[in-house]
A and B are shown apart, each in its own frame.
Chain A
Amino acid sequence: MVKRLGQTLVTLLFLTLMVFALARLTGDPTPLVLPTEATAQDAQFFRHQYGLDRSLPVQYLIFLGNVSRGDFGVSFRYREPAIGFVMAGLGPTLRLTGLAMLLAVVVGLGLGILAAVSRNVWIDRLVNLYASFGQAVPSFWLGLMLVTLFSINLPWLPSSGHGTAGHYVLPVITLSVFASASITRLTRANMAEAMQSDFVHMERVLGLPEASIVLRHALRNASLPIVTYLGLQFGLLLGGAIVTERVFAWPGLGQIIVDAILHRDYPVIQATVLVTAVMFMLINLAVDVTCMVLDPRLRV
C-alpha cells in the first residue's frame, strides 16, 4: 500500500515536469497576449511580471512550489486565476464524463451479459458488431452524424451548447459509445468464462434459477476486471470528452484547454492538464485500493 502511494507521488512529480515542459514548448505567449502596439518595454515588463525572464530550472522550481500550494498562477489572457478556469470547466466536463460512463456501463453490461448468456448466434453477432463499430468510430464524427440526424434533419435536439436536459443527450451518447463498446467486450468475455466455471456448473446442477446464477455469481466474478477497467476507461473518456466538447460547444475542460493552447496561456494549460492527470491518477489509485480490499490475492 505504502509502496503504491510512493509510486504515485513519484509519478506525480514526473507529471509536473512533463506538464511544465509541454506548456513551455507551446511557444512564447508574449506576442499573443500583448496588443500589437506594445513596445519592447511592454514585452519586457510582461515577461518580468510572470517570471518568464528567469532561467528554465528556476521557473520550474517556482512552478513546483506554487503548485504544491495550489497556486496555478494567473491566466495570461484573462488576468484571472488559472485555477478558476479549470474549476469552471471541470463541472460540465465531469457531468458529461460521468453520465457517459454511467450510460456506457449500463449499455455495456447489458449487452455483454446478453451476448454471453444468449444461445442465439445472431444476438451475439449483432452485439459483436456493435462492439467493433463502437471501438472504431471516431467520437467527433459520430457526434457530427448524430447532430445531422437529430438536430438538422429531425429538429428534436439542440446541436450544441449547454443548459437543458436536452443538451446532454447527444454529447453523452456520443462520448459513451467507445466506452460501452469496450465494456461490452470485456463483460461478454468474462461472463462467458465465468459461465463455464465449475462453480456455475455446480449451481446449475443444484437446480438454482438461471437468472440468479447469472446475476449473482457469474457477474460478481466478472466484475473485478471490469471495475479495474473502468478506472482506465475514465482517462480515455476524459480524452474523448476533449474532442467531443469541441463538436458540441460544450463549455468544459476541452474548450478551455484547446483555447489555452491556441493562445499559449501557460498557466491555464498547466492547471488543466495537471488537474486532469491528478484526477485520473487518484481514480486509478482508488480503483487499485478497492481491488486490493476486495481481493486479498492482489495485496502485494
Chain B
Amino acid sequence: MSAIEQEAGGRGRPPMLALACCVLLVIVAVLGDIATPYAKDFADLSATLAPPFWQDGGSLAHLLGTDTLGRDLLSRLIAGTRISLLTAGAAIFVAGTIGVLLGLLAGYAGGLVDAIVMRAVDAFLALPFILMALALVAALGSGVENMILVMIVTNWARYARLVRSEVLSIKGRDFVTLARIAGLAPHLIAFRHILPNALNSITVLALLDIGRAIILESSLSFLGLGIQPPEVSWGLMLADGKAYMSFAWWITTLPGLTIVATVMAFNALGDWLKLRFDPRAAL
C-alpha cells in the first residue's frame, strides 16, 4: 500500500501540527502588539546586534536577539504576524469575492460577456504577478492599504477562472435546468445553487492562496516596496538583516523560517481539505 493510499485512508483527520500552527498564528495575529515582550519599535541602542540567547553574547533578555537598532526580534516577529496574516487574509477575501462574482457572471451569462471577462483573466494571468505588483506599488506607493490593493489585483483572476469552469460544468445539470424552468431569477440560481457547489474549491484555493499572498507581500517588503516602518513585516525584517548577514545571521534567518513555517501550515491545511473534498484530485 503506497503512501497515497495511506493518506486517503486517514483523510478524516486534519494534519494536527499544521492546524495547531494555523490556530496559534491566528491567535497571535489577533492579539497583535499586546503579546510582544517589548514594543515592536523600541530601540535599545546599547544592545544592538545581540545574538539569540543560545549563542555567545546572547541573553535571556532578548530571546531571539536584536537587530541593528537594538529592537527585540521576537517582538517584531510577533508583531509581523498580524500584518502578514491581515494583508494576506484581507486580500484573499476581497480578491476571492471579486473573482467569484466575475466568474459567476462570465459563466452564467456566456457569450460576449464571458469572452471579455476571460480574456481579461488571461491577460492578468499572463503577467508574472510580481511584475504587476511592482508596477502597482510604484504607482500607488507602499504601505499596508496599498499592499492589500496590490494583492487583490494580482489574485482575483484565479478565482474567476475557477468559478467560471465550475459554473460551466454545473450549468448543464438537471437541477439547474429545473430551477430555470421554474422561473427562478438567474442571480438566485447562481447564488443558491451554483455557488454552494463551487464553495469547496474556492475554500481550498483560498487557503492555498494565503501562503502565496504571504510570500508575495514579503517579497515586496523585501524589495522595499511593501510594508513600511514603523509597521513590521517579516519580509521587511529580512531586508533589514541582509546587510548584516555575515555578522548577524539571526536577523535574516529567523523571519525566513517563520514565513516558511506559516506557509507550510496553511498549505498543509489546504491540501488536506482538497483531498477531503475530492480524493481524486491528488495534487
Residues of A whose CB lies within 8 Å of any CB of B are 7, 10-11, 14-15, 18, 22-23, 25-27, 115-116, 119, 121, 124-125, 128, 132-133, 135-138, 140-142, 144-145, 147-148, 152, 185-186, 188-189, 192-193, 195, 235-236, 238-240, 242-243, 246, 257-258, 261-262, 264, 269, 272-273, 276-277, 280-281, 284
Contacts and interface: CB of A to CB of B under 8 A. Distances in A.
A144 B136 contact: no
A276 B283 contact: no
B267 A15 contact: no
A115 B123 contact: no
Interface string B117-138: 0011011111111111011101
Contacts of A115: 3
Contacts of B132: 22
B223 A273 contact: no
Given A189-B4, A192-B4, A136 B222 contact: no
A269 B127 contact: no
Contacts of A189: 4, 282-283
A14 B135 contact: no
Interface string B227-257: 0000000010010001001100100110110
A11 B123 contact: yes
6 contacts: A22-B136, A22-B139, A136-B263, A141-B255, A189-B282, A243-B219
B260 interface: yes
A121 B10 CA distance: 14
For chain B, the bracket of interface size reads 35 or more
A239 B134 CA distance: 11
Contact of B127 (A119, A135, A264, A273): A273
Interface of B: 2-4, 6, 115, 119-120, 122-132, 134-136, 138-140, 211, 215, 218-219, 222-223, 235, 238, 242, 245-246, 249, 252-253, 255-256, 259-264, 267-268, 282-283
A261 B135 contact: yes
Contacts of A135: 211, 263-264, 267
Nearest to A147: B245
B2 A119 contact: yes
A15 B126 CA distance: 8
Contact of A136 (B120, B124, B267): B267
A130 B126 CA distance: 28
B76 to A, nearest CB: 16
Nearest to B261: A136
A277 B126 contact: yes
A123 B138 CA distance: 45
Contacts of A273: 127, 131, 135
Contacts of B264: 132-133, 135-136
Contacts of A193: 282
Contact of B245 (A144, A257, A276, A277): A144
Contacts of A119: 2
Residue from the set B3, B249, B268 with the largest chain A CB neighbour count within 10 Å: B3
Contact of B123 (A18, A235, A243): A18
Nearest to A120: B3
Contacts of A138: 215, 218-219, 222, 235, 256, 259-260
A137 B140 CA distance: 27
Contacts of A22: 132, 135-136, 139
Contacts of A261: 134-135, 138
A284 B264 CA distance: 29
Contacts of B218: 138, 141
A288 to B, nearest CB: 12
Contact of A121 (B3, B128, B129, B215): B3
B139 A14 contact: no
A144 B256 contact: yes
A26 B139 contact: yes
Nearest to A234: B128
A22 to B, nearest CB: 4
Contact of A132 (B131, B215, B256, B268): B268
A25 B214 CA distance: 25
B256 A236 contact: no
The 3 closest A-B pairs by CB, nearest first: A239-B128, A25-B139, A136-B263
Contacts of A235: 125-126, 128
Given A26-B139, A121-B3, A140-B222, 6 more contacts: A22-B135, A26-B138, A124-B3, A133-B264, A145-B256, A276-B131
Nearest to B256: A141
Contact of B260 (A133, A242, A272): A133
B135 A144 contact: no
A239 B129 contact: yes
Nearest to B140: A25
Nearest to B241: A144
